[in-house]
Amino acid sequence: MTETGEVICRVPARRVMGWGAGAGAAGAVVAALRAGHVDEADPWFIAGLVVALAGLCFLYAATARLTAGAYGLRSRTLLRRRTVPWSRIVDLRRYVQPGRNQDIHRVSVLLDDGRAWLPPLPVGGNDDAAFDADLRALRALHRRHGAPASDRAPVITYRSAGRRTLATWIVCAVLLAASAVAASYVADAASEQRAWRAAVPCTAATPAAERRDCLTTFDGVIERTDVHQGKGTSWLYFTDDRPVHRLGVSRDDAAAFRAGEKVELVFWHGSARTVTGAHRVWHDHLISPGELAVFSALCLLGAGYAVARLLVRRRGRGLRDDEVLPSALPFAYALGVTAVWLLPLLHQHATDPLGSPLRVVWAAAGTAVTAAGLTLAWRATRLRAPGEATAAAPDGRDHFLA
């Protein structure tokens, strides 16, 4: 809503947001009442908790507000209030975020210290007349009370030079940490795999302290099966809770066993490793060192792509904020080629990838291909001078590049 000399932005349908916040409060009350005696799957507690969390989102939206006047911009949310005078605002820009169905448009406030601030409102979509009107009104106030850096609102997209890089840094750090953690467990997984393959059945003479490392066999009877229809865990329940109350298995394994069926369970390191029935044998899945090594490499390659995006953005630091940077996809192609030769090597030889001359040759050839791909990607993503394209066509005719 626009008043004389002032712009006020609120969330549309505030009454609906208020009703949603009220429903969330009711859900919180229900969840609190059921919290004292919650069983394994209390539908009232779960429903109340879900409604309460949704109510918080409605309450946040209902209280969000942005006002603009001679004093500058003033935002208010459920948790924070902020006022920025026009003297600190360099420009007001259109910030486009990719969405599931359409792009999300917001206002980006460029401050005099180089940082950008995203106020909670206004928010719109593609061809949103209300958002466009709010942005025009805000820029008109900025021209009246400040000194905008541009005549038109710059458009900041995911490939613009002025796009913030905080999310990319966070993704890169998380992937590097995940890669390091997975790599640190490769040796332990290999040791456990060797111990499982070398394990022998326990005997009457085996001391109690050593029975954890040998194979102990128990007989049991399937009481019932719980076959989960989705992606969750299915369960085998045993009569009289012997040798265990229940055991988590896959859906196909749970469907293969029958109530009343006699089975044989093999325990190792305190857990059931196999269940043998009349028509089915279930094996517990031990994470192999190759799986951990492949996961670590995938995380490292993902972090490499994040670093490539940061490098492309670093090379374009002298561009205007709304100028489009080269795509980082050439680096993705090079990293994809790296995965083709690196992942099979790590999956088969996780603990000693260079243990034979053939592996050394394979790794050396793959490294050379990766280096060539990264070099080509670096050249493909370089910034070209404005007159570079025309200088290559001195005859004045139109030239089309395939």
Per-position DSSP letters for 140-202, written without gaps between them? HHHHHHS--S-SS--EE-TTBTT---HHHHHHHHHHHHHHHHHHHTHHHHHHHHHHHHH--B-
Q: Considering the domain boundaries, does residue 111 fall inside one?
A: no
Domain boundary among the residues 40, 63, 86 is at 63
Residue 245 placed within a domain: yes
Whether 293 and 176 map to the same domain: the answer is yes
- In this structure, is residue 47 part of a structural domain? yes
Specify the pTM.
0.74
Peptide bond into 122 cis (omega under 30): yes
Note the pLDDT of residue 398: 41
Q: Give the chain's domain count.
A: 3
Tell me, yes or no, whether 394 lies in a domain: no
Last residue in a domain, options 232, 255, 283? 283
> Could you tell me if 305 and 273 lie in one domain?
no
Q: Tell which residue, 322, 308, 319, has the closest CA to residue 380.
A: 308
> Does residue 296 share a domain with residue 175?
yes
Full pLDDT tens readout for the chain, 402 residues: 444 478 888 887 666 677 777 777 887 777 777 776 655 566 777 787 888 888 888 777 778 889 988 888 999 888 889 999 998 998 898 888 887 788 889 898 989 888 888 898 888 888 888 888 889 999 999 988 888 888 888 888 888 877 888 889 999 999 999 999 999 999 999 999 999 999 999 988 888 888 888 999 999 999 999 888 777 888 999 999 889 999 999 888 888 999 999 999 999 998 999 999 988 999 998 899 999 999 999 999 999 999 999 999 888 887 877 788 888 999 999 999 999 999 999 999 999 999 899 999 999 999 999 999 999 999 998 876 555 544 444 444 444 333
Q: Point out the domain boundary residue: 34, 63, 92.
A: 63
Looking at the structure, tell me whether residues 202 and 278 fall in a common domain: yes
Domain identity same for 279 and 301: no
Do residues 294 and 327 both lie within one domain?
Answer: yes
Q: Distance (Å, rounded) from C-alpha 397 to C-alpha 196?
A: 73
Retrieve residue 45's tokens.
């507690």
Q: Does residue 161 form part of some domain?
A: no
Do 175 and 301 fall into the same domain?
yes
Same domain, yes or no: 43 and 22: yes
In a domain, 72, yes or no: no
* Tokens coding 164: 């913030």
Instruction: Judge if 195 and 334 occupy the same domain.
Output: no
User: Do residues 215 and 237 share a domain?
Assistant: yes
Print the domain residue range for 206: 187-283
* pLDDT, position 340: 96
